[in-house]
Structure 1
Amino acid sequence: MAVPTADLDSTVTDDAPEAYRGLMEQYRRISHLESGSGVLYWDQQVTMPEGGTAARGKQLAALSATTHEKLTSDAMADALDAAEDAGLGDERAANVREIRRRHERNRSVPESLVEELTEHRSHSQQVWKEAKADDDFAHFAPALETLRDLQVERAEAIAPDRPAYEVMYEDGEPYLPLERLEEIFEELKAGLVPLIEEIEASDADLASPFVAAGPSADDTQRGLSGAVLDLLNYPEDRGRLDVSAHPFTSGNQFDARITTRFKPEDPMDAFTATVHEFGHASYELGLPDDRFGEPLGASLSSGVHESQSRFWENHVARTEPFWEGFVGEANDHLGTDATAREAYEAVNQIYPDNLIRVEADELTYHLHIILRCEIDRALVEGDISVEEVPAVWNEKMDQYLGVTPDTDAEGCLQDIHWSGRFATFQGYTIGSVLAAQLDRAMREALGEDRVDALIHEGDLGPLWEWMTEHVHRHGRRYPTDELVEEATGEPLSAEYFLEYVEEKFGELYDR
């Protein structure tokens, strides 16, 4: 990709009604402030010295307060009213709809609360890092409790007559009702639990040649991550790879940065994390350049975003055709002599006794998510106290996965999410379900054999182009179910994910 030369201040064309142009001028300023906050967040997680936390909290709080003031102002309300009366076409009307939703949702939240919440998030993330490193949940508990209380206060300001948890959920998933998500969870539990039980009873042994080869240095794993990013066409002029405590992606269509982390004893952990984060970056990079700063140039939801990372991680990098083409590269970097089949089996092992969500296999991963969602909701709704979280976590790990962590660092402190917000874990499962549905639609459109051949040959551009055409380029034009129907021809369904895992793991485990 070439560095853009377009004037980003002229993306609202001259033929737009004056009222619409005025609205978009106001909103682009808000969007650019939020984009700047994202860079500060990335810096805090990747390069900022630990001593900078207090100042960074103040910086982010000031930006969030300014953004909130502009978004909820009378001037914004007047601009929205004028634009809505201007007789707009579908795309422009979608921009106005999304801005209106944000304006209405936030206007009753006090600016002082926005500022306090932002500053406390910044503080909580540093406390979480320290608590995890020291295996000390008690150190994190006061920050978690304060954050929970502030988030509940915000949710009650937005919608005092609705459950706070539901309001929080809609921050990341505005158009997929919580009730529909709960139906999907029930379908997945009904299909996955017996499948996992059958696999546990299987005699199949998918030992990893990469683990057996011994520890891998960080430089070695970074080299492997760089090699797969080159294969995936991750652009150097619009992205970068770094290391953080918890892998994440930050950015936009011009600057989409990813991080990973390295485990000496398991190089495939960093490999899959890198591909996963590339999937997130592919969505940002696929958004239309000429819509930067508009809702039409922003990603739709956490679940749709996660569908992109799960597609590239599971439907590309965990396939046998991928490893038939890539195993030589992996062997060169890791000093191993694995066959394509051994590598394919290694990245698809099912191990219910695994403690860590981001290291979990495709099947038990969703039991990790369900566990977190249940604790998340109970904590927000006051059914459990913050102090009870470690014990409840361990009980649910034993219930769902038959394993109990020895430390809180391997248990309830393993994820960064509760240092920032609640009701976010659902997106991971929504993403996996949607990824399978998108994969099926892509294969029907391009041809099953052609998709496998492209993956085998490492010619992955057509796959990214298909996703950009059917998902990325729309930004927030459509609500979630409309986007899914636009891309796949039908509403979101768990059917394709369950069919996919039944077929894949049935073959791998001789079912």
Structure 2
Amino acid sequence: MATEQTRYDEFVERVQRLSYLQGASGILSWDQQVMMPGGGTPARSRQLSTLSTMGHELLTSDEMADDLDALEADDGLVAPQEAVVREVRRKHDRAARVPGDLVERTSRATSEALNVWEQAKAEDDFDTFAPKLEELVQLKRDYAEYIDPDADPYAVLFADYEPYLDLETAERVLTRLREELVPLIDRIRESDVELAVDAFSGQFDAEKQEAASRDALDILGYDWDRGRLDTSSHPFTSGNQFDARVTTRFDESDPLGALTATIHEFGHAQYMLGLPDEHYGTPLGDDRDLTVHESQSRLWENHVGRTEAWWELFLPTFKDHFPAVEASPRDAYEAANQVYEDNLIRVEADELTYHMHIVLRFEIERDLIAGDLDVTEVPQVWNDRMEEYLGVRPETDAEGCLQDIHWSHANFGYFPTYSLGSVLAAQLDHAVRQDLDLDTQVRAGQFDPLREWLYENVHQHGARYTTPDLVREATGEDYTADYFLDYVTEKYERLYDC
């Protein structure tokens, strides 16, 4: 009879096979968004749906269920092993309730929807995407119904991306951000202070922007042996601790957009690359879901890449590529932190109004899933709420409800984690600055101390801890929005003298 240790080892091998299969699917998805010719969609959708079905079968197999039952009854497991069992049990129980054919249909539908979304966005034609969006909404309703027919379906979907902070917490944070940021934004817009918003005006060649982005990644310490930079219609990061790839996009009238997106994706990649190599393929070598993941990208983007210290370091390098730029580091800092009047695009949004974008998307997709909003109504509701929350109305659906890729992936429930992660980034930044003179180190281009702090306090733990426990391990406190609101209030009141 097999010993429990042997059973655990066999269980881990089963979990690793599942992880490797999902990793292969991730590479195919990356290729579809970055390199695959558009005509490849019919084959790719079948490839991805097959891998998705195989993964579902592995996760829900009788062998996996038997292993989980036996290991949960074993008193001899140590804490890290118990964490692996906990994480796999959670995923197994959810997946076991979902029929395999629904998994396959959803995978195929999302693969097909990506190409349709890209075409609809390019042609500013929501009607082209609407049938696919309607199909995906129904598939995710069905998915939520199978998992827990008595629960709020949106809460079920949200738990796929953040299983340990509940939807009530997310709603509470988003409500607080809306209530406290809107008055701050109003004071800023009434301010007479004029920031150096024209510091980067003009046209900036995309190839030179890419070279500048690569230099920024060099300075930050991106490991090119385990990563690469490409362009895509929507910036994203994909991979693991051995291969974490980032993408960005370039607008020749907005060099800061590509740069901040690149630094943002670097934060995601740095988290992946910091996960323990020896635990690859298990939850101990996997990220702790999207609130923590987004905290890493927002920490690097905002608490490093939008600081005056960063611009004192990086501006000379930027000017090597664009000698005509006459901005000072202070000018660059002000330009990077301006609060926009005409803020249409989420990924190009400033640090404050960004969260109104999240509130808008959260409300719309929650109503879609609940059946309180018809897909055909999305453009009108989007534009109305954009005008209400941000004071600007999109002229096209391409710059409105078609701007994000997430719905083509059926990622309903994903958006709140952007704001939850920004909140956590500020809490981590506060903790970091208790131990490090971060601005001095950034100014000197010394990023090893920050990377080491994040490794010790966040990355090395993988998914060993739940999100609340990891936050307490890293910061000594419970998850809170206090530090984020204190940080942005102090920063922007000083910038705008309001």
- TM bucket by the smaller chain? over 0.9
| 1:190 paired residue among 172, 179, 191 | 179
Q: Give the aligned partner of residue 324 of structure 1.
A: 312
Equivalent residue letter for 2:171: E
Q: What is the correspondence of 1:54-203 to structure 2 with a 5 Å cutoff?
A: 54-86=42-74, 87-203=76-192
Residue 375 of structure 2 is aligned to residue 382 of structure 1 = no
Equivalent residue letter for 2:17: R
Give the deviation of 1:142 after TM superposition.
0.1
Equivalent residue letter for 2:407: W
| 1:362 paired residue among 351, 357, 368 | 351
Which deviations, in whole Å up to 9, do the C-alpha atoms of 1:475-494 show, x marking residues without a partner? 11111111000000111111
Equivalent residue letter for 2:140: Q
Residue 492 of structure 2 is aligned to residue 508 of structure 1 = no
Which deviations, in whole Å up to 9, do the C-alpha atoms of 1:299-348 show, x marking residues without a partner? 11111100000000000010011111111111111221210100000100
Q: Give the aligned partner of residue 448 of structure 2.
A: 461
Q: What is the correspondence of 1:282-297 to structure 2 with a 5 Å cutoff?
A: 282-297=270-285
- Contact 2:196–2:332, Cα closer than 8 Å, also in 1: no
Cα distance in 1 between the residues matched to 2:445 and 2:274: 19
Q: Give the aligned partner of residue 437 of structure 1.
A: 427
Give the deviation of 1:16 after TM superposition.
7.9
Cα distance in 2 between the residues matched to 1:429 and 1:399: 19
Q: Give the aligned partner of residue 12 of structure 1.
A: none
SS, match of residue 293 in structure 2: helix
Cα distance in 2 between the residues matched to 1:139 and 1:109: 29
Give the deviation of 1:82 after TM superposition.
2.0
Residue 298 of structure 2 is aligned to residue 314 of structure 1 = no
Cα distance in 2 between the residues matched to 1:185 and 1:42: 31
Give the deviation of 1:285 after TM superposition.
0.4
Cα distance in 2 between the residues matched to 1:343 and 1:242: 25
SS, match of residue 486 in structure 2: helix
Residue 342 of structure 2 is aligned to residue 353 of structure 1 = yes
Residue 406 of structure 2 is aligned to residue 417 of structure 1 = yes
Give the gaps of 5 or more residues in structure 1. 1-14
Equivalent residue letter for 1:390: P
Which 4+ residue blocks in structure 1 deviate beyond 6 angstroms? none
Q: Give the aligned partner of residue 484 of structure 1.
A: 471
Cα distance in 1 between the residues matched to 2:129 and 2:85: 40
SS, match of residue 259 in structure 1: strand
Q: 1:474 to 1:16 in 2, by over 3 A?
A: farther
Number of residue-to-residue matches in the alignment: 493
Q: Give the aligned partner of residue 32 of structure 2.
A: 44
Q: Give the aligned partner of residue 8 of structure 1.
A: none
Q: What is the correspondence of 1:217-232 to structure 2 with a 5 Å cutoff?
A: 217-232=205-220
SS, match of residue 211 in structure 1: coil
Equivalent residue letter for 1:487: A
- Contact 2:358–2:419, Cα closer than 8 Å, also in 1: yes
- Contact 1:209–1:343, Cα closer than 8 Å, also in 2: no
Cα distance in 2 between the residues matched to 1:66 and 1:346: 49
Cα distance in 2 between the residues matched to 1:431 and 1:204: 30
Equivalent residue letter for 1:134: E
Equivalent residue letter for 2:416: Q
Give the gaps of 5 or more residues in structure 2. none
Give the deviation of 1:190 after TM superposition.
2.0
| 1:496 paired residue among 480, 483, 489 | 483
Q: What is the correspondence of 1:25-40 to structure 2 with a 5 Å cutoff?
A: 25-40=13-28
Which deviations, in whole Å up to 9, do the C-alpha atoms of 1:32-85 show, x marking residues without a partner? 000010000000000000000010000000001001001001111111122223
| 2:261 paired residue among 244, 255, 273 | 273
- Contact 1:117–1:150, Cα closer than 8 Å, also in 2: yes
Cα distance in 2 between the residues matched to 1:350 and 1:16: 58
Residue 11 of structure 2 is aligned to residue 23 of structure 1 = yes
| 1:240 paired residue among 228, 235, 256 | 228
Q: Percent identity between the aligned chains?
A: 55
Give the deviation of 1:507 after TM superposition.
1.2
Which deviations, in whole Å up to 9, do the C-alpha atoms of 1:94-142 show, x marking residues without a partner? 0010011111111011111100100100000110000000000000000
Equivalent residue letter for 2:473: E
Give the deviation of 1:159 after TM superposition.
0.9
Equivalent residue letter for 1:500: Y
Cα distance in 2 between the residues matched to 1:232 and 1:152: 42
Residue 381 of structure 2 is aligned to residue 392 of structure 1 = yes
Give the deviation of 1:211 after TM superposition.
3.1
SS, match of residue 414 in structure 1: coil
Cα distance in 2 between the residues matched to 1:453 and 1:303: 28
RMSD: 1.0
Give the deviation of 1:209 after TM superposition.
4.3
- Contact 1:210–1:268, Cα closer than 8 Å, also in 2: no
Equivalent residue letter for 1:445: D
SS, match of residue 222 in structure 2: coil
Give the deviation of 1:361 after TM superposition.
0.3
- Contact 2:203–2:252, Cα closer than 8 Å, also in 1: yes
Cα distance in 1 between the residues matched to 2:328 and 2:109: 49
- Contact 1:331–1:338, Cα closer than 8 Å, also in 2: no
SS, match of residue 251 in structure 1: strand
Give the deviation of 1:189 after TM superposition.
1.6
Q: Give the aligned partner of residue 249 of structure 2.
A: 261
Q: 1:159 to 1:483 in 2, by over 3 A?
A: same
Give the deviation of 1:218 after TM superposition.
1.1
Equivalent residue letter for 1:248: F
SS, match of residue 224 in structure 2: coil
- Output the TM-score relative to the length of structure 2: 0.98
